[in-house]
Amino acid sequence: MTIDDLLKQQPLTTISEGDTSREISQVFCCDLLSVAMSKAPADCAWVTVMGNVNTLAVASLTDAACVVLAEGTVLDEAVIEQAKVQGLTVLATGEPVFDTALAIHQQLNA
């Protein structure tokens, strides 16, 4: 399943668009950056409420496929700009972390 497939089925807003043909391996949830740093699987869809520049750094270093900001988390303009420069896909939703992750998981395993 690619990010494009995800966007077709889930009501997610695109904040920053990277390579949306990228495959998603699995869903990962965590807000503590040093835990995410060691545990986020490569090519994951990382669902988090932690929306700052450090999220981008961790996503890029762990090779996450995309970041999904849940619970209405917003990014500063400068951070959005940086995500675009990095070519990182950042999506957003007002839904809770669990519901968002579950929906992506179900689509992955459908």
Partner 1 sequence: MSEQTGTSGVELKYMVSPDDFTRAGEASSKVKNILKQMGISPDVIRKVSIAMYEGEINMVIHAHGGDITVTITPEEIRMVLRDDGPGIPDVEKAMKAGYSTAPEQVRALGFGAGMGLPNMQNYTDEMKVETEIGVGTTITMSVHIEG
Ligand X SMILES: Nc1ncnc2c1ncn2[C@@H]1O[C@H](COP(=O)(O)OP(=O)(O)OP(=O)(O)O)[C@@H](O)[C@H]1O
Residues in contact with partner 1 by CB under 8 A are 31-35, 37-38, 42, 50, 52-55, 57-58, 60-62, 78, 82
Alpha helix positions (H), 1-110: 3-9, 33-39, 53-61, 77-86, 97-108
CA distances from residue 7 to 4, 31, 52, 63, 73 in whole angstroms, order as listed: 5, 23, 22, 19, 18
| Cβ-based nearer residue to partner 1, 32 or 74 | 32
Residue 31 binds which entry of ligand X, partner 1, none, CB below 5-8 Å type-dependent: partner 1
When asked if residue 38 is in the footprint of ligand X (CB under 6 A), the reply is no
- Check residue 34 for interaction with ligand X (CB under 6 A): yes
93 touches 85 (CB < 8 A): no
CB of 11 to partner 1, least distance (A): 25
